[in-house]
């Protein structure tokens, strides 16, 4: 229905092919066939005057140039991104909790919210007020940019040699969120907002002389700590090598199927780390159903090395820093069943041996 202030002439009938004249500046609407009479079915002047007075007494005011019927393709009003401040707070809280709390379900839930906040703030930073987006479009773009920004962040930190963690990935979104928050602030552009914020933070005009001295000392300490941390990050420290133990069989294939009394060859290699010293290799055989409270008995080295239930053999040697030791053992198992053949490497540190590496081989022995 068309709204407005209508005025119908009472002195003459409307022109042929038109329904009425509109008093707000719009042209008359055609009825279709010009041979048809006006759309008002009343022909007497009295009725015309009555209709005119009724329409003139009703005020359906519409601003000039307003659309009477909106187009079908009109896009929804732009969303103003009202949650940029909340998203920034979520990212800041997540960074703090990741640094001070161990992993837990609550922190994981906050991590998902922080990931979405990264995409939302990225959309707010890119779009701003120039493009009109509906709520569903903002949601779709936020999810897509969340995946893109976090993946790019993971790639960036990995190229820099930083381990890929939730903190390392999501912390990249915090500067994006802060920049988007500054750009959404009223009262000028982003540069003006940043300038005003910095001026408010570093405005000490109302401080006393002693308070200004304390602030200056604190700022100098913070700056010195930041410089030291950055300097330490570029210092290269030599890698600390750890001790290791490797086992292999003939043709680089470990034997897992044994027959009673038939020996199999296993080569054992021990590697010293950055710190050399005395080492001890211990070989044990025990059933897979063992409880761990059993007593082991020592067996001497023979060829082959005959091992029965809860048998133990020890080999001692000395290695320097970065050196290695290898020996090939021919092992014969004297019982059937599912067993564990375990190799432990101990290093004497101080006055007591310390377990530094281990390898366990599950074997099945047939009669």
73-120, pLDDT tens digit by residue? Answer: 444 444 467 788 888 888 888 878 877 877 788 877 888 888 888 888
Q: Is 79 among the domain residues?
A: no
Q: In terms of domains, do 229 and 281 share one? A: no
Directed axis angle between helix 105-127 and helix 173-184, to 10°? 50
CB–CB of 31/50 below 8 Å?
no
How buried is residue 22: exposed, middle or buried, by Cβ count under 10 Å (0-12/13-18/19+)?
middle
Domain count, the chain: 4
Q: Print the domain residue range for 1.
A: 1-74
Whether residues 210 and 256 fall in one domain: no
DSSP code for 129: T
Domain boundary among 39, 54, 74: 74
- Phi (first) and psi of residue 95, to 5 degrees: -60, -40
Best CA proximity match to 59, nearest among 1, 2, 3, 20: 3
Same domain, 322 and 273: yes
Alpha carbons 338 and 293: distance in angstroms, whole number: 18
Both 290 and 351 in one domain: the answer is yes
pLDDT tens digits in sequence order for the chain, 367 residues long:
444 444 444 444 444 444 444 444 444 545 444 544 444 444 445 444 444 444 444 444 444 444 433 443 444 444 467 788 888 888 888 878 877 877 788 877 888 888 888 888 888 888 776 667 777 888 888 888 888 887 887 777 677 666 666 666 667 778 888 878 777 665 545 556 556 666 666 677 778 888 888 888 888 888 888 888 777 767 776 677 889 999 999 888 999 999 999 999 999 999 998 888 999 999 999 999 998 889 999 999 888 999 999 999 999 999 998 899 999 999 999 999 999 999 999 998 888 899 999 999 999 999 9
The reply to whether 238 falls in a domain is no
Number of H helices, E strands in the chain: 8, 10
Domain-ending residue, one of 25, 49, 74: 74
248 falls within a domain: yes
């Amino acid at each position: 229905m068309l709204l407005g202030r209508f005025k119908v002439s009472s002195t003459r009938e409307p022109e042929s092919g038109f329904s009425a004249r509109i008093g707000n500046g719009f042209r008359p609407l055609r009825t279709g066939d010009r041979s048809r009479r006006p759309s008002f079915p009343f022909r007497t002047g009295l009725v015309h005057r009555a209709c005119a007075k009724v329409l003139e007494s009703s005020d359906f005011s519409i601003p000039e140039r307003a659309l009477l019927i909106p187009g079908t393709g009109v896009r929804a009003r732009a969303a103003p991104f009202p949650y940029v401040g909340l998203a920034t707070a979520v990212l800041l809280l997540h960074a703090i909790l990741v640094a001070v709390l161990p992993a837990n379900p609550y922190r994981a839930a906050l991590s998902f919210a922080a990931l979405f906040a990264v995409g939302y703030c990225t959309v707010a930073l890119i779009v701003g007020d120039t493009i009109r987006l509906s709520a569903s479009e903002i949601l779709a773009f936020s999810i897509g940019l969340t995946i893109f920004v976090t993946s790019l962040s993971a790639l960036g930190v990995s190229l820099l040699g930083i381990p890929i963690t939730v903190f390392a990935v999501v912390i990249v979104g915090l500067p994006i969120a802060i920049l988007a928050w500054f750009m959404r602030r009223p009262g000028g552009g982003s540069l003006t907002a940043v300038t005003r914020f910095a001026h408010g933070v570093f405005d000490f005009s109302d401080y006393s002389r002693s308070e200004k001295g304390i602030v200056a000392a604190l700022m100098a300490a913070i700056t010195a700590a930041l410089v030291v941390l950055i300097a330490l990050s570029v210092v290269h420290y030599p890698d600390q090598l750890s001790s290791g133990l490797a086992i292999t069989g003939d043709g680089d294939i470990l034997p897992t199927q044994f027959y009673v009394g038939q020996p199999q060859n296993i080569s054992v290699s021990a590697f010293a780390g950055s710190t050399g010293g005395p080492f001890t290799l211990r070989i044990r055989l025990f059933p897979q159903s063992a409880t761990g409270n059993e007593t082991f008995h020592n067996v001497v080295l023979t060829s082959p090395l005959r091992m029965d239930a809860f048998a133990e053999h020890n080999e001692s040697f000395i290695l320097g820093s970065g050196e290695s030791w290898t020996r090939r053992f021919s092992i014969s198992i004297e019982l059937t069943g599912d067993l564990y053949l375990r190799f432990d490497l101990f290093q004497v540190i101080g006055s007591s041996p310390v377990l530094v590496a281990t390898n366990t081989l599950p074997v099945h022995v047939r009669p």
